[in-house]
Amino acid sequence: MSNAYNRPDQLSPELRRRVLDTARRLGYPGPDPVARSLRTRKAGAVGLLLTENLSYAFRDPAALGFLEGLALACEGAGQGLHLVPVNPEREDVAAVHRAGVDGFVVYSVPDDDPHLAAVLSRPVPTVVADQPIVDGVDRVGIDDRAAITRLAQHLITLGHRRVGVVCMRLARDRNDGFAAVDRQEAAHFHVQRARLAGIADAFGPAGVEWARIPVVERFDHTTASGASAAGQLLDSDPGLTAIIATSDILALGAITEARRRGLRVPQDLTVTGFDGIPEGERIGLTTVRQPVLEKGRAAGRLLLGTPDPTRPREVTLDTELVQGTTASTPRTTEERWFGP
Amino acid sequence: MSNAYNRPDQLSPELRRRVLDTARRLGYPGPDPVARSLRTRKAGAVGLLLTENLSYAFRDPAALGFLEGLALACEGAGQGLHLVPVNPEREDVAAVHRAGVDGFVVYSVPDDDPHLAAVLSRPVPTVVADQPIVDGVDRVGIDDRAAITRLAQHLITLGHRRVGVVCMRLARDRNDGFAAVDRQEAAHFHVQRARLAGIADAFGPAGVEWARIPVVERFDHTTASGASAAGQLLDSDPGLTAIIATSDILALGAITEARRRGLRVPQDLTVTGFDGIPEGERIGLTTVRQPVLEKGRAAGRLLLGTPDPTRPREVTLDTELVQGTTASTPRTTEERWFGP
DNA sequence: TGGACTGACCGTAACGGTTCAGAACCGCCG
DNA sequence: CGGCGGTTCTGAACCGTTACGGTCAGTCCA
């Protein structure tokens, strides 16, 4: 029976025809994929775990790029892509245990996320992306810290000293407001923690004490969040010459808010982002471009490729500083040159 | 054992603890999801079949909206979303047979697609979206024909008579060029066929013979395709006053091409789209807005909801004519009124 | 004291494929 | 005619779980 479907060479054409015939007559719908998976120990799919609602991934351009790259890799290997449903409110890990997959890709979840723990407890290969290193699992990412240091140094070169920072959520609990250093250092999102540290790396040597640079955190990753966070920064210190956002989405919101307040970008306020999303490119956002699609593809390849004996592998992709038109010398310097 | 994990009420806490303890000691990784699925006859996931490369879905805003809505519905029901890998070149249906899912959603594939046939041969519930009705499966969609008829009538009211049409692929074979009526009528993509018919419905009564309206087809659904198709139309008849595209993506490309030729939109050329994607809204594209997210959600609900005894169900969602700024009275009429 | 009842626990039979060993068969040669 | 190499076919074991029925001990009431 099985042979009739999958191994035509193992039996005579005549018997095969007869088997298939009676199968059809009996209404047999073909081999059951689940039973086959049980026996062969192959599900033919990789699971993807995202921290946010599944649908969030379809809104965030960076996540989307990652998804596209991963899908590309899966497609190439004939593997399905199983999106694991996660309800960030309820800590329901059952979905992770129920997913019939041959491996997991975990994208940007907090390091204390129970779903991540659940994935690691499953006896299947796992690749994490934009995450800190976990014991022995493969990892793909960029050097967030060094990348944003370069960007910050660029601002320092331009003359900025009074800057504010807008960042994404640092932990699973909602904290829409200022984030002190202790919260920053305890951050559970590796990417955000690294980016903040990278900014500090640049400003410290420039004589700006990091603890005095205001950092505003937002739980939701939307342009509206970026706008309100920028507003909060400017309210607390109208003398800021630059706002560094840890994502393009937040930066776009900050620009909107600046304009709303009658501030010209970059003449009155410099704004920078991180990611290099198309919307940012369109308006000439100064940012760090990271190869999101490549990242997804690398994650897929890492998972689906032959499991190298030199376990845990790590792929770090290159980034590029994009000097757009939203950063310039600060107003004060400018005024010094041209008068107020 | 099973009870220890899933039915704490079925055994004493003491025994449960002991079982779990020894399980851990033996390195038991928890119940195997595949075996569980085999036994319970539930995979906990729905399959999604798209005609294009998986990664295409992440580029096309309309598909993306559908995906988001579907993901939302799955999430709500705690179901995973299994994206079936399809290589449009090779007709490899195996992936459909290998997918361990409780049901399928089929989105906008040609009605003669072997993958669709493979899905229908599987003994699981199926919902098709933007497809013609298949025997006894649920369906969700819009009234493409009536919706675009309204749009076309709007153009007729404005005074347009010499129009050209840009449409997406009509069949699985590549045909980048004019599509005669016979090809239109034999189209395997229900949505495209319906939209062309809808345009004909409007222009026929207005005294414009449909067969004389040039229709240009493009295989790839990109703005570049829209641009080249518009170019082909304008080359063949520079006197066109309007271009009707069957999607916003194509319309955006057509606008780019018009501008490149020094034609102002809408003063020199009216361009309309279909879908109501954000990029179109931003530039004020005249189009038909369809609730793509709702469509995805409806598909998910149809599949996951209680299977109504009144089988095949059908959900038709409403559309809205968006009178943007890319359509106006045609140049010739204008000139008649104001002089050249 | 005995019978009915309750609750905890355990053994076993599917679920539906794949795989593999060995049976059956066939023709051929010594 | 027996043995042998080869192919085709059959049967049974196994994958890991859940559902179900049965055993057993303990409790309650007549």
- pLDDT, tens digit only, all 340 positions of chain B: 777 888 777 777 887 888 888 888 888 999 999 999 999 999 999 999 997 777 778 889 999 999 999 999 999 999 999 999 987 677 789 999 999 999 999 999 999 999 999 999 999 999 999 988 887 799 999 999 999 999 999 999 999 999 999 999 999 999 999 999 999 999 999 999 999 999 999 999 999 999 999 999 999 999 999 999 999 999 999 999 999 999 999 999 999 999 999 999 999 999 999 999 999 999 999 999 999 999 999 999 999 987 766 667 899 999 999 999 999 999 754 454 444 4
CA A273, C1' D17: Å apart? 50
Strand D closer than 7 A to residue B1 Cβ: yes
Give the per-residue pLDDT at B339.
43
- Residues from chain A that touch B92, judged by Cβ atoms under 8 A, are 78
Helix (H, G, I), strand (E, B) or coil at A104: strand
**CATH fold group of domain B144-291+321-338:** Rossmann fold (3.40.50)
Kindly determine whether residue A44 and residue B123, on different chains, have CB atoms separated by under 8 Å.
no
Task: Closest CB to B100: pick one of A30, A33, A121.
Answer: A33
Question: Residue B7: is it exposed, middle or buried by C-beta count within 10 angstroms (0-12/13-18/19+)?
Answer: exposed
DSSP count for chain B of H helices, then E strands: 14, 13
List bases in chain D with any atom under 7 Å of a protein Cβ: 8-10, 14-19
Strand D closer than 7 A to residue A14 Cβ: yes
Q: Choose which CATH entry (3.10.28.10, 2.40.50.220, 3.50.50.60, 1.10.260.40) describes domain B2-31.
A: 1.10.260.40
Hey, where are the domains in chain A?
2-31, 40-141+292-313, 144-291+321-338
Residue B26 near chain A (CB below 8 Å): no
Strand D closer than 7 A to residue B11 Cβ: no
User: Within 13 Å, how many C-alpha atoms sit on residue A276's CB side?
Assistant: 17
Exposure letters A71-104 (e unless 16+ CB within 10 A, then b)? bbbbbbebbbbbbbbbeeeeeebebbbbbbbbbb
Look at domain B40-141+292-317 and name its CATH class. Answer: alpha beta
Cα B224 from Cα B282, distance rounded (Å): 19
Mean pLDDT of A54-80: 91
**CATH topology of A40-141+292-313 equal to that of A144-291+321-338?**
yes
Q: What are phi and psi of B224, to 5 degrees?
A: -60, -40
Cα A88 from Cα A91, distance rounded (Å): 7
Q: Choose which CATH entry (3.40.50.720, 3.40.50.2300, 2.60.15.10, 3.30.420.10) describes domain A40-141+292-313.
A: 3.40.50.2300
- Residues from chain A that touch B87, judged by Cβ atoms under 8 A, are 75, 78
Span between the terminal Cα atoms of chain A, in Å = 87
Kindly determine whether residue B74 and residue A97, on different chains, have CB atoms separated by under 8 Å.
no
Q: Any residues with CB less than 8 A from the CB of A69 and at least 6 apart, and which?
A: A292, A293, A294, A295, A296, A297, A298, A299, A300, B55
| A105 within 8 A of A299, measured Cβ to Cβ | yes
Mean pLDDT of A315-331: 95
CB atoms within 10 A of CB B1: 11
Cα B223 from Cα B315, distance rounded (Å): 30
Please name the helix (run of DSSP H) or strand (run of DSSP E) that holds residue A243, with its range, or none: strand A242-245
Cα A106 from Cα A104, distance rounded (Å): 6
Q: A210-220: per-residue pLDDT in tens?
A: 999 999 999 99
